[in-house]
Chains A and B, each alone.
Chain A
Amino acid sequence: MTDLRSYLLRRLGFAALMLVGVSLILFVIMQLAPGGPEAVLIGGEFSAEAAAQIRARLGLDRPIAVQYVTWASAAVRGDLGRSFKTGDPVARLIADRLGPTLQLTGAALLFAVVVAVPLGVLAAVRRGTTWDTLGSAFSLFGVSFPSFWLGIMLILLFSEAVPWLPPSGLAEYGHESDVVSRVRHAILPTLTLGLIQMAAVMRFTRSSLLEALRQDYVRTARAKGLADGRVVWRHALRNALIPVVTVIGLSLPTLVGGAVLTETVFAWPGLGRLAVGAVFERDYPVIMGVNLVVAAVVITANLLTDLAYTVIDPRISYQ
């Protein structure tokens, strides 16, 4: 177990390093950019004097290094600062928005995996038949769609052309705890995000299963006369799952970040839209906070994915 422990320590140490690096780069980029939050805060009655006062109050007139160290030392203690725009604690803003984003990406991922893996297996097993061709075509199409366009087309079909589903928002206004309303509102955004993910996962499942089926040990097992079904499900699938887990892990940054577009199209009150709004309004603490949280989530997921490998394939060790 010391193996595991030292591995974890190393990974965590490295993760911390990455978080620092990423946040530092982001911080410097933001400071270098023209314009700042004061313009947004003052609005139409802009005056240079007011702008200077606001910058001083927000601490933006201090040297960049000082500002970063102040932010970082607070962040380590869990204090992500306060939004320039609203003065609310960033941690709370993120917590409020994290739920809807996780709900969306979680549902999309679940949808993708639950539908794609069996379909991918089916396509691999029934290789060469119509199923396979259809499946391949579908998955190829899926990864070629721009997500925002897919969302808009879905709105066009299921909300404008026929008024079946609501086109935006988390739930009917005033009915936020109404489960039915929330489910109805979640259908189109989940489909948008999920269909694309599904295509990617399906493609991967199929190819990796085919690869696994071609391996020597499978042929040996077949030669030995073991029933086809057992061969597939026992040996090949297990090996095929590794890359699938990889793909799921790899798709996390895309999901969390790419949800930005879906959230924009559907006016979904999630982290992606919080981030986009913060970028446009130069709300530095929020940008830094969201980035930190997302990076932490992704790094954690990667770590878990790697640990999952060792469970699936005992041959993989902690190097």
Chain B
Amino acid sequence: MIHSLVLAALVVLLTLAGPRPGLGAGRDLVIGLGGDATSLNPVVATDGISYTVEWPIFDSLLELDASLNVKPLLAESWETSRDGLTYTFKLKKGVTWHDGKPFTARDVAFTFYSVLDPKVTTPHRAYFDALAGFPELTAKENPKKPEELSVRPIEVVDDHTVRFRLRYPSGSFLAVLVNPRAGIVPEHLLKGQDLNTAEFNRKPVGTGPFKLVEWRRAERVVLEANDKYHGGRPALNRVIFRIIPDAVVLLQELRSGGVDLMENPPLTEVARLKQTAGLRVLTADNTSYTYLGWRQDVAPFTDLRVRRALNHAVDVPSMIKEVLQGYAAPAAGQFPPSSWAYDPSFKPYPYDPAKAKTLLAEAGFKPGADGILTKDGKPFTFTIRHDVANQTVKDTAVIVQEYLKRVGVDARLEPLDWPTFVKKLFASEFEGIVVNWTNHHDPDPFAYTIWHSSQWKGRNFAHYKNPRVDELLESARRTAVVAERKKFYGEFSKVLMEDAPYVFLYFPQQVYVTRQGYEGFVALPTFGGIYQSLKVVRWTGK
């Protein structure tokens, strides 16, 4: 009898014991991720989570400062030739790989030649379009090898000097040489291997502030500080990425101490999180943007009035306030507020449902019996496809549908899972879409690949075609002078806004929640901007 009582008491006691403090509180940083990386090789791994985990492991030649200008990292200094076609980088001396071997210019050349190699699967290739010999090196049939070119795009001058040669002056060249898309990989470990499937991708070796200790798939990635880091040993002991796919669970872990940093909590919870003792919320602008888009070459979207009407129909500020809790900037075009190409004098179309209705009436639509507009007997109805897994995009689509309904447009939502959605997107199999897309902190290459009429098979899946826009984008590409580029992109933005090809909705901000006591986070206004500062984050306990 007593025996079972004691047992029962024990069980009760054990059950009531509260949660324990997180592992290594203080000098470790535990980051919660919503999914696992696919591989840790910056040349081939191109999904968002892989970028995040790669960032502390690999350095790039340059990195960004708070205004998104480039500053030295592995490259100490550089010179540009007068004609803008040659860039000579002087590399930092004394840098070593995590395995102790010295870092040299040969690694730089190897990395970028790998990016250009058509056998390597990497979407980064397009960023280096300006390099000399690009068409020959990346040709589908009989691509040339670098040795066969008369002008070498990448030249190892000596152990610490590397030279790039371009075939046209490109203002965005420096901007693409930063993480997460341009980490440098070691030649001595990857030469002769198939980068797509190398064992290296699971056991990466970089020059970054942290090195890989352990990667347990779908569970965690453990990094530890690189004592020999050329920028000084990081203050943190270890960075541990925990993979927790469920957003609700991730939040619970943050609250109970199992996780110290997470990105993009459910926005409805942020207000409460801000008031929670022991937690801090950091926000920063971001370059990705969300828009309502449609096929440009399909009626009724071919009518400018219709496109403008749709722009007037959606109350973006209200949407941002209620659904995004204010954590977004309204979009008036392609370029986010943090971009130098951004022009604050552009205002988005104001919310004006009356005007929307007038424009639609002008375009020949009349309200039918059920309130839905019809023209020539056909109702104005179309399907909006979107990614089912992105909660914010889902919510946005639902609200957009509601606003459209109020002006008589019948939009049907068709959420698709990511693999199906992307496939249909790039095959241009859609009528309307609500999408959140990454962007680059430099206007090129995204502006070009999305809006140029030569890119219908690529990112211009909406089939936009405007000769004036083509002209402007080409001109902007071929000059390195910032003032000139700014002029071209300014004109481009103006034409685009007047043409209203999309309803540009908003630029969602990055929102991070972290434990009080960690200092040093700097969230750059670009993708994953906080991860660059991990090397300076330290625990002060305050």
Complex: A78 Cα to B5 Cα, angstroms: 50
Contact A164 B15 (CB under 8 A): yes
Contact A48 B419 (CB under 8 A): no
- CB-defined contacts of A269 to chain B, threshold 8 Å: 218-219
Contact A48 B47 (CB under 8 A): no
A36 within 8 A of B: yes
- CB-defined contacts of A41 to chain B, threshold 8 Å: 38, 47
- CB-defined contacts of B122 to chain A, threshold 8 Å: 50
The 8 Å CB contact of A180, one of B14, B256, B424, B457, is: B14
Kindly state the interface size class of chain B when it binds its partner.
Answer: 35 or more
Contact A173 B242 (CB under 8 A): yes
A35 within 8 A of B: yes
- CB-defined contacts of A40 to chain B, threshold 8 Å: 38, 47, 418-419
Kindly state the interface size class of chain A when it binds its partner.
Answer: 35 or more
B84 within 8 A of A: no
Contact A35 B121 (CB under 8 A): no
Residue of A nearest to B23 (CB): A174
- CB-defined contacts of B38 to chain A, threshold 8 Å: 40-41, 85-86
Interface of B, helix, strand, loop or mixed by DSSP: loop
Contact B217 A93 (CB under 8 A): yes
B197 within 8 A of A: yes
Complex: A46 Cα to B438 Cα, angstroms: 11
- CB-defined contacts of A174 to chain B, threshold 8 Å: 22-24
- CB-defined contacts of B6 to chain A, threshold 8 Å: none
B262 within 8 A of A: no
Contact B46 A43 (CB under 8 A): yes
Known: A48-B426, A174-B23, A269-B218. A39 touches B418 (CB 8 A): yes
Contact A184 B15 (CB under 8 A): yes
Contact B423 A42 (CB under 8 A): no
- CB-defined contacts of B417 to chain A, threshold 8 Å: 35, 280
Known: A57-B197, A86-B38, A93-B217. A175 touches B20 (CB 8 A): yes
CB distance from B86 to the nearest CB of A (A): 28
Known: A42-B46, A48-B426, A187-B15. A267 touches B419 (CB 8 A): no
Contact B36 A86 (CB under 8 A): yes
Complex: A163 Cα to B19 Cα, angstroms: 9
- CB-defined contacts of A42 to chain B, threshold 8 Å: 46-47, 123
Interface residues, chain B, CB within 8 Å of chain A? 14-20, 22-24, 30, 36, 38-39, 46-48, 50, 121-124, 126, 196-197, 201-202, 217-219, 242, 244-246, 249, 252-253, 256, 258-259, 389, 417-426, 437-438, 457-459
List 14 A-B pairs, Cβ < 8 Å: A39-B423, A43-B50, A47-B426, A48-B426, A50-B46, A50-B122, A51-B426, A85-B38, A167-B249, A167-B252, A181-B20, A184-B15, A267-B245, A267-B246
Interface residues, chain A, CB within 8 Å of chain B? 34-48, 50-51, 53-54, 57, 85-88, 93, 163-169, 172-175, 180-181, 183-184, 187, 264, 267, 269, 274, 277, 280-282
**A36-B419, A183-B14 known, 14 other contacts, Cβ within 8 Å:** A36-B423, A39-B420, A40-B47, A42-B47, A44-B48, A44-B437, A45-B124, A46-B425, A46-B426, A48-B457, A87-B202, A93-B217, A172-B19, A267-B244
